[in-house]
Chain A
């Protein structure tokens, strides 16, 4: 059965009892004669019933956030244990007994910038136009993988594409950010055309990438540019800039 806005409206009217009496009778007749329509109505009914329970949805979302936080903590612990240059630097500081204060300051600033990155970074969302309007199977696959967070697959697939448009570069940059390939993320965001509608978005993600790389000095001019641009990211950029300047 082809899904159209009209059928959806009719089903929703039927389920919420807002159809006029005569339309209900006609619709029920159709339902009795058309098993496919009947099945579709039941799908909508089940969706409405489950997803109207906002408390449970909020609870599920909370669990997902908790899971992410726990995973991030584990990742941070394992990275700090396995990063050899940290170990070396820490050992030298301990052995020589000098530079302790400097080291402490560095770590502190590192943690602060990482915290800020964590607080401000959200993957660039899949745009609705992208979900619905692409018929290309490979592209649909990329969008699907990106939406479910399979960033490594997205990066592999997009790297194979000969010509990326600005939107896809954003997806690629975000994927790199999520698989810890920040330098590649920098290039992807820098490649985005400064005239198009993604100019501001690209600057925002580039500034966050620099933050992740613990080079907040590079983020600051970008944030100032975003503020001057006066678009959708202005508020976020203003807040982040304030927080960064407080940390300096």
Chain B
């Protein structure tokens, strides 16, 4: 079932090929948008689900753990739908027009667990990418394990300013995450840590 075409797309995703990803995006977003809009979501929800599902595929490819038992398209739609159903359930807005999930066999329990487990990560990334360039630079270096001294050296800021920035940016990031509804719902309905 895994055609040459699918192989090309998967290779494009893992190597970050913009043309391949853009084509995939254009072709498949309308279907997911329609599904999400029909099931209590809006445009932004659809785009979030689409991007987060693509990230899941990307991460699975990177760790060599993608098991395709169907076409990529069917598999990807399965992930998106499960992800959206999961978010609705957490949000207590579960009104799904479909009676039965049509993708029970394609999306295995492991993938469903993965979707759950990754939810919090999507929230973190979304907020991190909204930070100012300075905050992102300082925090990225921190997350990669650099000391304040190293960060100051790399960025050219003084050590005192770096430490101040690091604190302000990280505190702001945590506060933004805590205020996010999706994060609050995850706290109320904790995921099973794998």
Judge whether B129 and A57 touch: CB under 8 Å. yes
Complex Cα spacing A132 to B176, Å = 12
Which residues, 51 to 79 on A, are CB-close (under 8 Å) to B? 51-52, 54-64, 66-67, 69-70
The answer to whether the Cβ of A46 comes within 8 Å of any Cβ in the partner chain is yes
Which stretch in A107-115, A121-129, A156-164, A167-175 binds the other chain? A121-129
CB of B129 within 8 A of CB of A60, answer: yes
- Docked Cα-Cα span, A131 to B132, in Å, equals 10
Contact B55 A18, beta carbon cutoff 8 Å: no
Whether B167 lies near A8 (C-beta < 8 A) is: yes
Partner of B59, one of A3, A48, A56, A62: A56
Chain A hits for B142, CB < 8 A: 12, 48
Q: A5-B163, A52-B143 are in contact. Are A63 and B54 (CB under 8 A)?
A: yes
Q: Are B51 and A70 in contact, CB atoms less than 8 angstroms apart? A: no
The answer on a CB contact under 8 Å between B51 and A63 is yes
B69 within 8 A of A: no
- B159 smallest CB distance to A (angstroms): 12
B126 to chain A, nearest CB (A): 8
| Whole-angstrom CA separation of A32 from B143 in the bound complex | 25
Specify which chain B residues have a CB less than 8 angstroms from the CB of A51 in the assembled complex: 124-125, 128, 139-140, 143
B172 contact from A54, A56, A132, Cβ within 8 A:
A132
What B residues does A126 contact at CB under 8 A? 132
What 7 A-B pairs have minimum CB-CB distances, sorted nearest first?
A52-B143, A5-B167, A50-B121, A51-B143, A63-B51, A50-B124, A125-B132
A interface: dominant SS: helix
With A8-B171, A60-B51, A131-B172 known as contacts, the answer to whether A66 contacts B22 (CB < 8 A) is: yes
Most chain A beta carbons < 10 A, residue from B18, B121, B144 = B121
Q: With an 8 A cutoff between CB atoms, is B45 at the interface?
A: no
Is residue B168 contacting chain A, with contact meaning CB distance below 8 A? yes
- Chain B interface helix/strand/loop/mixed: helix
Using CB atoms, name the residue of chain B closest to A122: B133
Nearest chain A residue, comparing its CB with the CB of B47: A67
- Number of contacts between A and B (CB, 8 Å)? 98
Cα A4 to Cα B125 in complex, Å, equals: 23
Nearest residue in B to A15 (C-beta to C-beta)?
Answer: B145
A interface residues with partner B (beta carbon < 8 Å):
3-5, 8-9, 12, 16, 18, 43, 46-48, 50-52, 54-64, 66-67, 69-70, 125-128, 131-132, 147-148
Interface check B174, CB cutoff 8 A: yes
| 6 further A-B pairs in the complex, CB-CB below 8 A; given A46-B124, A128-B135 | A5-B164, A47-B177, A50-B124, A59-B16, A70-B29, A125-B132
Residue among A50, A125, A147 making CB contact with B125, cutoff 8 Å = A50
Task: Verify if B147 is at the interface (C-beta below 8 Å from A).
Answer: yes
Q: State the CA gap A128–B125 with chains docked (Å).
A: 19
Query: Do residues B18 and A62 form an inter-chain contact, with CB atoms below 8 A?
Result: yes
B36 within 8 A of A: no
Query: With contacts A52-B143, A69-B22 known, is A43 near B125, CB below 8 A?
Result: no
Min CB distance A157 to B, Å, is 18
Chain B contacts for A67, CB-based, 8 A: 25, 47, 51
B174, A47: Cβ atoms closer than 8 Å: yes
- Most B CB contacts (10 A, CB to CB) among A64, A70, A131 go to A131
Is B135's CB under 8 angstroms from A56's CB? no
